């Protein structure tokens, strides 16, 4: 079951913040976040495991609320290099090999 991401797109000026949400109707074991720049492969940013932990990558951080089956990605003080499409990938069970990906959120950061 594919998770639902929101918003579909966001436009920011450099230095602004944004939040991307990822929610599932099923209980989750872990959530991955990836960023894909135009014409390139998606790149792994971070993984969050069951337990409500928070992680960071540069000034990008994320949280995972397992009770609500949702994760949020926080882009803080955005830079031009943050532009791209962000995907969340969810895993439902510990023994699952596969991820189900959301439709993506396109982030455009302007100078």
Partner 1 sequence: DVKVTQSSRYLVKRTGEKVFLECVQDMDHENMFWYRQDPGLGLRLIYFSYDVKMKEKGDIPEGYSVSREKKERFSLILESASTNQTSMYLCASRAFPGQKVYGYTFGSGTRLTVV
CB of 67 to partner 1, least distance (A): 22
Q: Are 22 and 88 in contact (CB under 8 A)?
A: yes
CB of 101 to partner 1, least distance (A): 4
Nearest Cα residue to 22 out of 51, 47, 59: 47
User: What DSSP letter does each residue of 39-99 carry, written as one string?
Assistant: TS--EEEEEEETTT-EEEETTEEEEEETTTTEEEEEE-S--GGG-EEEEEEEE-STT----
CB of 57 to partner 1, least distance (A): 11
Contact region with partner 1 (CB under 8 A), list: 16-24, 58-66, 69-77, 87-95: 87-95
Footprint (CB under 8 A) of partner 1, residues 19-58: 30, 32, 34, 40-44, 46-47
Give the footprint of partner 1 on this chain (CB under 8 A). Answer: 2, 5, 30, 32, 34, 40-44, 46-47, 87, 89, 94-104
């Amino acid at each position: 079951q594919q998770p639902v991401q929101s918003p579909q797109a966001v436009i920011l000026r450099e230095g602004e913040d944004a939040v991307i949400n990822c929610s599932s109707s099923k209980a989750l074991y872990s959530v991955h976040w990836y960023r894909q720049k135009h014409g390139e492969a998606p790149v792994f940013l971070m993984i969050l495991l069951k337990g409500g932990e928070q992680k960071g990558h540069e000034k990008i951080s994320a949280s995972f609320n397992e009770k609500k089956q949702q994760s949020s990605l926080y882009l803080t003080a955005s830079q031009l290099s943050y532009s791209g499409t962000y995907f969340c990938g969810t895993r439902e069970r510990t023994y699952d090999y596969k991820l189900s990906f959301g439709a993506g959120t396109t982030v455009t950061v302007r100078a």
